[in-house]
Amino acid sequence: MRLDRAFLRFTTGSARIVLSGSGYYYAWVGLLLLLVSLGVVAYTRQIENGLIVTALRDEVSWGFYIGNFTFLVGVAAAAVVLVIPAYIYHWKPIKEIVILGELLAVAVLAMCMLFVLVDVGRPDRLTHILPIVGSLNVPHSLLAWDVLVLNIYFLLNLGVVTYLLVSLFRGRTPNPYIFTPLVFFSIPMAVTIHSVTAFVYNGLPGRPFWNASLLAPKFLASAFCSGPAIMLILLQILRKTARLDIKMEAIWKIAELMAYAMFLNLFFLVAEVFKEVYSDTHHLQHMKYLYLGLDGKTALVGWAWTSVAASIAAFFLFLIPATRRNLVTLNLGCVLIFLGVYIEKSIGLVVPGFTPSVLGEIYQYDPTMNEFLVGLGIFGVGALLFTMMSRVAINVANGNFRLDAEAPRADVDVPA
């Protein structure tokens, strides 16, 4: 059968798989759709009134949205980097791990783009950042570079995963000369997207909290904790629900690698704290605001210490072989790592950079319910995308969804 007709069959078959499922599946999708609609309602209110409905002001001009964006770029990067140990240690099934990692990257990048979209004051003018049609300010603007590399990374992952799935769907072996170089190209690209995102902050001399050369390495170290934490939980769920044959050894190995990444992340944190505290310049203000509060303003202090405590606890849980092999402590560690890195990379990164402001003012940023709901809606979109894409992918990988089969049977449940 010709490729275009095969692709058409793939699309319609995928739609059928996505639309049918058990009661649990419908309940899960229904819940996600509810979150998405809450987000749409909240965003509509923001479009009507402007960004005044957020808690952002001139003193703290980026916040919850850009923080989530930053965190998620790390998740998208790390999801794909798991491909390296999969190849080195010959984990079976590599194919599935690659596909799931890339699908996660695609879904998370869609969320990243949505978080940028909701943050800009003039979403109607986004065409201005297109090359040719608009006036993308390369090579000067790091945000312009970020737009470029994120889009390349998005298309790369979407392309590879579509190629793999359509090939398998057509009953053909994917040509390794096509997809292996692309998968390997996506690894340096993963490092690039997160480094460039760090450079957006890093290159601002007026903001000493970000203007430290450790920022990009720290971004990568923390991303290699949070990204795999999500993958570990997903792999366990799919092991049960989709009967994917994932060996526990692979999961333990990932946990061990995460312990090393977390060690680096904590070491970088100590290095930064030492430099600021010992040299005791006015740059220390930002770190003080984060961990101790300034002038009795302590909005971030609880969050900051929660993040540190969660990260340290997770480090030990993953370092000690007995606790990383125990499913309860392993999953507890995943949740703690996610929590620790999420706080550190979102609110804990963005807000102290602005507080105190360049003129010394302390504006306590506390996201509004509207901001939170917009964010929740975007997480809903991401989860929905991943649920549906992985549902199709697993049916293809299991051989249930094939071009030569009568009709696709959606007998696998994938609760995201």
User: Which span sits near another protein by CB under 8 A: 21-29, 171-179, 182-190, 369-377?
Assistant: 369-377
Among the listed residues 151, 368, 398, 400, the single contact to another protein using CB under 8 A: 368
As given in the structure block, the two tokens for residue 346 are: 């979102």
Q: Which of 17, 32, 55, 259 binds another protein (CB under 8 A)?
A: 55
- Among residues 210, 192, 185, the alpha carbon closest in space to that of 66 is found at 210
Residue 130 neighbours by CB distance under 10 Å: 12
Helical H segments across 203-243, by residue range: 215-241
Nearer to another protein, 208 or 217 (CB): 208
Question: Binding another protein by CB under 8 A: which of 2, 4, 30, 58?
Answer: 58
The answer to whether 133 contacts another protein (rule: CB under 8 A) is yes
Q: Does residue 357 belong to the site contacting another protein (CB under 8 A)? A: yes
Of 76-84, 117-125, 263-271, 321-329, the segment contacting another protein by CB under 8 A is 117-125
Distances (CA, A) of 362 to 66, 292, 359, 403: 20, 14, 9, 61
φ, ψ for residue 207, nearest 5 deg: -120, 85
CA contacts within 13 A on the Cβ side of 226: 31
For residues 192 and 285, which CB has a smaller minimum distance to another protein in the complex? Answer: 285
Annotate each residue in 25-44 with x if it binds another protein (CB under 8 A) or - if it does not, as one string: ---------------xxx-x
Which residues ranging from 195 to 214 are in contact with another protein (CB under 8 A)? 200-201, 203-207
Residue nearer to another protein on the CB measure, 196 or 250: 196
Name the β-bridge partners of 297.
Answer: 294
Q: Is there binding between residue 111 and another protein (CB under 8 A)? A: no
Interface with another protein, residue 120, by CB under 8 A: yes
Contact 48, 370 (CB under 8 A): no
Q: What is the DSSP string of 21-84?
A: --HHHHHHHHHHHHHHHHHHHHHHHHHHH-GGGSS--SSS-S-HHHHHHHHHHHHHHHHHHTHH
CA distance linking residue 64 with residue 320, whole number of Å: 34
CA neighbor of 81 nearest in space, from 254, 285, 243, 299: 254
Of 176-184, 261-269, 301-309, 366-374, the segment contacting another protein by CB under 8 A is 366-374
The binding site for another protein (CB under 8 A) comprises 40-42, 44-45, 47-59, 61-62, 116, 119-129, 133-137, 140-144, 147, 200-201, 203-207, 282, 285, 353-354, 356-361, 363, 368-370, 373
